[in-house]
């Protein structure tokens, strides 16, 4: 496993299989990260263990060569995120990637109400996956349909919120730290959180800080990784 503390790149065998920790930059797709690393190491078999939206930054676990067979070992791990909800907003994608509509904030909005609303999300939940997602329905990616103005029925999925801390409130911003099960959409939590408050909310910032007990603090940026390969 490659980290900033133990990165002996001379001994790595990407074809035989390596596990790389990468800190995804903003506005990059997870696919672009994989493509860039694949090109840098000149190995065809490269994959990641869980997609991050272009808006998001943070930990991607990249597997190369024979290690791609270990994908399932990582996919079930919990995920931890920090970020920001922006209250009084709504958008089709539930974040700031699509056009945002302003909504009035309720007169009774205060810290106590925000914390009470937070408590509603702890434990087991059912989420309806957003249309703006890479999930496939009948072989078609939902975000491709959404961009054409189409909407299809999506089945709710069971997820679990292990921890949901409100780390700072500066209305309309609500900063959070969430540990959740695989398959959880933080954008949906933002949207549903806003709906329960009666004012809407979008996700304006997201960082994946952990996958299981693996931390983004041990990850390399894409630029750092490529420089070490050259």
Q: How many helices (H) and strands (E) does the chain have?
A: 6, 14
Burial of 24-60, coded b for 16+ CB within 10 Å and e otherwise, reads: beeebebeebbebbbebbebeebebbbebbbbbbbbb
164 DSSP β-pair partners: 178
Find, among 112, 132, 108, the residue nearest to 202 by Cα: 132
**Among 7, 53, 95, 192, the one annotated catalytic:** 53
CA 16 to chain centre: 29
Question: What is the three-class DSSP state of 180?
Answer: strand
Instruction: Assess whether 218 carries a catalytic annotation.
Output: no
Q: Are 30 and 60 in contact (CB under 8 A)?
A: yes
Rounded to whole angstroms, the Cα distance separating 22 from 35 reads 13
Active site residues: 53
């Amino acid at each position: 496993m490659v980290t900033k503390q133990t990165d002996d790149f001379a001994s790595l065998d990407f074809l035989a299989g390596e596990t790389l920790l990468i800190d995804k930059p903003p506005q990059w797709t997870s696919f672009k990260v994989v493509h860039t690393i694949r090109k840098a190491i000149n190995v065809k078999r490269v994959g990641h263990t869980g997609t991050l939206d272009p808006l998001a930054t943070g930990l991607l676990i990249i597997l190369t060569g024979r290690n791609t067979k270990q994908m399932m070992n990582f996919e079930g791990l919990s995920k931890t995120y920090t970020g920001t909800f922006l209250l009084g907003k709504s958008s089709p994608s539930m974040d700031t990637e699509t056009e945002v509509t302003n909504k009035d904030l309720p007169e009774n909005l205060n810290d106590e109400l925000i914390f009470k609303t937070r408590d509603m999300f702890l434990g087991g939940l059912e989420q309806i996956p957003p249309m703006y997602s890479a999930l496939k329905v009948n072989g078609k990616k939902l975000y491709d349909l959404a961009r054409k103005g189409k909407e299809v029925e999506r089945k709710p999925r069971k997820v679990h919120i292990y921890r949901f801390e409100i780390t700072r409130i500066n209305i309309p911003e609500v900063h959070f730290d969430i540990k959740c099960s695989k398959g959880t959409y933080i954008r949906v939590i933002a949207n549903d959180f806003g709906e329960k408050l009666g004012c809407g909310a979008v996700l304006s910032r997201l960082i994946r800080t952990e996958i299981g007990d693996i931390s983004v603090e041990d990850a390399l940026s894409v630029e750092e990784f490529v420089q070490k390969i050259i």
